[in-house]
Amino acid sequence: MNFGIEIPRIENEEVFENLCLDLIKANVQYENVNRNGRRGQKQDGVDIFARNKLSLEWIGIQCKVKTNGSIKEEEIKKEVEKAYGFNPNLSHYIFYTTAKRDSKIQAYVRSISDQNKNKNLFNIDILFWEDIEDLLREDKYNSVHYKYYRSFYTHIDDDGFAFGKLISLNIGHRQLDSFYPLLIGKTYRKDTKKNKNINYWKGVYFIVNFSERTSEVFPIPCFPTDLEEAFQYRRDRYIITKFINSIPDIDKFINSKESNYELILTGKEYEEFLDMYKEY
């Protein structure tokens, strides 16, 4: 699946190694996928190892972050020589790198892989950043794509594309007495030339009240009048407004995993609510 978003090159070594680990774990042909020791220990040129479920042969992965966009033959040779000492013997050795695809490096890797084959040693392959991008766009790696690039979904070009977070919100005064299953989300900011009328609705927050099958868009900060179409009861609108405004960063909130929330009005807050509507 092509999410239609940018895939920025990862520059942090630990994050990139985590990404490679998750890509291997998401590949159903492998089992026993693990990091090889920890930083500072002798790793025999292998950052990640796994076993092929069918052949039961072991593969080794070397992760290379290249901020200058290139990887050298000498680096590859050095790591390959280390990997000869890995126990048990490898059948396949793969470089995952953020370097740009390079035909000369590809030819070099093919050459030393052929040399290894003639010696009954492991095959060698290399995946450049463009190859990793292609993997991330495949359906079987959707979960990995989502995990590492969720915060970049604001670059989606598709008209009307949005993401939201389903939550359980319990509210009340003095005690919890009302429950709402809610979807809080955001539409995306990038304007489109295809349908300019829809641009007005880009970058707005929305809330869906599944209990009453209603919805509303709202600004930050949010006011009770902004939620009149979504919530029937004034008190509940007031509390839910306070809940929304209590969120320090609503974009991070939408991206977070927590799903259960509650808010009880204090006596003072309830008096403020009554004062707000006493003229009615």
Model pLDDT for residues 69-86, shown as the tens digit of each residue: 789 999 999 999 999 999
Compute the average pLDDT of residues 39-51: 84
CA distances from 197 to 92, 160, 187, 193 (A): 53, 11, 14, 9
User: Prior bond to 248 cis, omega within 30?
Assistant: no
Give the model's confidence band at 276: pLDDT under 50 very low, under 70 low, under 90 confident, else very high. confident
> Alpha-carbon distance 142 to 1, whole Å?
7
> Alpha-carbon distance 68 to 98, whole Å?
9
The pTM for the full model equals: 0.56
Question: Does position 2 have pLDDT exceeding 50, yes or no?
Answer: no
Domain topology for 13-151: Trna Endonuclease; Chain: A, domain 1 (3.40.1350)
- Nearest alpha-carbon partner for 208 in 247, 238, 181, 169: 181
User: What is the separation of C-alpha 19 from the centre of its chain, rounded to a whole number of angstroms?
Assistant: 10
What pLDDT does residue 255 have?
82
Which phi and psi angles does 43 have, rounded to 5°?
-115, 0
Give the model's confidence band at 48: pLDDT under 50 very low, under 70 low, under 90 confident, else very high. very high
Query: Which H or E run contains 218?
Result: strand 214-218
What pLDDT does residue 3 have?
46
What pLDDT does residue 156 have?
43
Query: Which H or E run contains 60?
Result: strand 58-64
Least confident of 1-10, 16-25, 97-106, 150-159: 150-159
Write out the residue limits of the CATH 3.40.1350.10 domain(s) in the chain: 13-151
What pLDDT does residue 194 have?
58
Least confident of 157-161, 167-171, 224-228, 248-252: 157-161
**Share of residues in the chain with pLDDT > 90 (%):** 69
Question: Does position 151 have pLDDT exceeding 70, yes or no?
Answer: no
